[in-house]
Amino acid sequence: MPWRQGSLRIFPTIQVSVERARLGLKSESTRTRLGFAWWVLEPILLLGIYYSVFGHLLRIQVENFAVFLIIGVTFWTWFNKSVMNCTDAIYEKKHILEHCKVDPLIFPLTSIFKDLVKESLVVVLLLLLLCAIGVMPSWLWLYVPLIALVQLIITAALGVFVAGLIPFMPDLRILISTGLQFLMFASGVFYSKANIPAELGFLLDINPLAALISMYRDVLMYGRAPVLIDLLALAGGASGLLMLAVLFLARNKNAYAMALSK
């Protein structure tokens, strides 16, 4: 059956992507003096900027705002960077696609796996930081990998789709960057639902990233388990979108070389 053959073909693609991600991470770590440290320093610098603006200048009224912000920024940064890194994943591989017959899905998956490794390190440090500032660990923290898996599926779905779309419409990169900026402010990274007018609360209600960030905070800050039905619903919807994105790339794989040569 065609769908079964397609599912079998994707495993070698994943294996190649994982190996390319491993080699890419190794190369990145040797390009700068600080190497792996930059993976951690960058989100820390962003956190410092956001905390200064929203915690001191705007004085957002959220209890334990430092922890609230750390969690939001950590998981939002993963999503944002992964999607942005995927935008040029295929677009920049013109020389490969023109001379080799390869599955274009390899390129966005490589980027996604690289960012997953980096984020895993950042999350471990986040948990250690929470312990250091007095947050007591709980068995509920075991939900974090499950929530992160759902976020990975959502990130992969959007990342694969934009990677496949940009070669045909390069100018969309600017709109995607702007859209992610809006999405950041509509995801509750810097505030809770109680901090915004009631008529704008729907922005958080319909935003899957806002739901995931809220679940992370429930588990890590408030000692509440996520609603599994909601988590499964997000996982199911994201999986469907990922399948559609993969099919979109498969359908257009022979057109990328021509589109990029224009």
pLDDT means per 10 residues, the chain with 262 residues, are 49 83 74 60 68 57 77 90 92 79 89 90 83 84 95 96 92 90 86 77 85 94 92 95 93 80 67
Distance between CA 107 and CA 87 in Å, rounded? 10
Distance between CA 70 and CA 123 in Å, rounded? 10
User: What pLDDT does residue 74 have?
Assistant: 87
Domain, as residue range, for 80: 2-261
Please state the φ and ψ torsions of residue 87, each to the nearest 5 degrees. Answer: -60, -40
User: What pLDDT does residue 209 have?
Assistant: 93
Closest CA to 140 of 149, 151, 155, 127: 127
Please state the φ and ψ torsions of residue 19, each to the nearest 5 degrees. Answer: -65, -40
The count of structural domains within the chain is 1
AA letter at 208: P
Instruction: Say if residue 126 is exposed, middle or buried (CB neighbours under 10 Å; 0-12, 13-18, 19+).
Output: buried
Q: Enumerate residues 6+ apart whose C-beta is below 8 A from 39.
A: 118, 121, 122
Residue with tokens 């905070």: 217
User: What pLDDT does residue 244 have?
Assistant: 95
User: What pLDDT does residue 56 have?
Assistant: 53
User: What pLDDT does residue 128 have?
Assistant: 84
User: What pLDDT does residue 165 have?
Assistant: 93
Q: Please report the DSSP string for 155-167 in residue order.
A: HHHHHHHHHHHTT
Count of beta carbons in the 10 Å neighbourhood of residue 145: 11
Closest CA to 193 of 163, 172, 170, 217: 217
Residue with tokens 């000692």: 223
Are 123 and 148 in contact, with CB atoms under 8 Å apart?
yes
